[in-house]
Structure 1
Amino acid sequence: MGSEESNIIAFKKQEQSKKRKETQSKETDIYDSIFTPELHKQLLEKARKENACD
């Protein structure tokens, strides 16, 4: 394999890694915007009430 080919492969891997990180970042931002501390608190309270009845 020539040096040019290995540079192309390295570049492609770098681009894939960038895209993967961007996707993960977007997913994290969406999750954080939906799953707020207030919602977390409400869900915990609901779960406690449901389990207390059992």
Structure 2
Amino acid sequence: MEIVASSDGPVTAKDVAVALGRETTPAKVDPVRGQLRKLADRGWISRTGAGRYLTR
């Protein structure tokens, strides 16, 4: 959440994975995407239609 909150605008799962120091392969980005989706479903962050995430 800190990575999404500190960004200037919406971020992708790939952006968050890079900020966490992970590789940009689908095997490393997909779990990050899943966590972001969970946070969005629970109302902690917002998800745009284009699959980008931002703070509420």
| Larger CA Rg, structure 1 vs 2 | 1
Query: Whose helix proportion is higher, 1 or 2?
Result: 1
Question: With structure 2 as the length reference, what TM-score do the two structures score?
Answer: 0.34
Query: Whose strand proportion is higher, 1 or 2?
Result: 2
Higher relative contact order (CA 8 A, sep 6+): 2
